[in-house]
Copies of this chain bind each other. A is one copy, B any other.
Amino acid sequence: MTEHLTTNPCADLNAYLEGKVPNIHNFGIRVSELGRGSVTATAPLAGNGNHLNTMYAGTTFALAEMLGGAIVWPLIDFGQYYPTVKDLQIRYRRPAFTDLTGRASLNEKTITRMLTEATTLGKTEFEVEAHIVDDAGTTVATSHGTYQIRRFEAAQA
């Protein structure tokens, strides 16, 4: 299911987000690394401040949440399948005074299960732990999200 991948999947995914989920793009969130089972994205402090001159909690959430969708970009064709979030818990561990970097990963065993279920059942569920650090590498937030991949109904017909 990787026929859709080009040589620059980060640029493709960032362009997709700009068009499809402009709020993520408008927060300045960009995917910077994308592989099979790994994703890194960043969010700038500029434009994302709050009443304490730190990173707005909603931007940190947006960074954490999008990792769970971005990580499946190399695995599925977004024209046939789509990711969606079912629930997410985020813990704000320290105030964020700098740009942020978020990372998440999926192991090969999970990926194999997901792709098998998506192909045979038309949907699959998976969990993503996101780790958000500041520019000193200090963890400012962690999250645990439950996501689904589902096949578009039109594609099932």
Contact = CB atoms under 8 A, between A and B. Distances in A.
A115 interface: no
Contacts of A16: 51
A78 B82 CA distance: 42
A126 interface: no
A20 B54 CA distance: 11
A61 B60 CA distance: 11
Interface residues of A, number: 33
Contacts of A22: 47, 49
A21 B61 contact: no
Interface of A: 16, 20-24, 26-27, 47-52, 56-59, 61-62, 65-66, 78, 82, 84-92
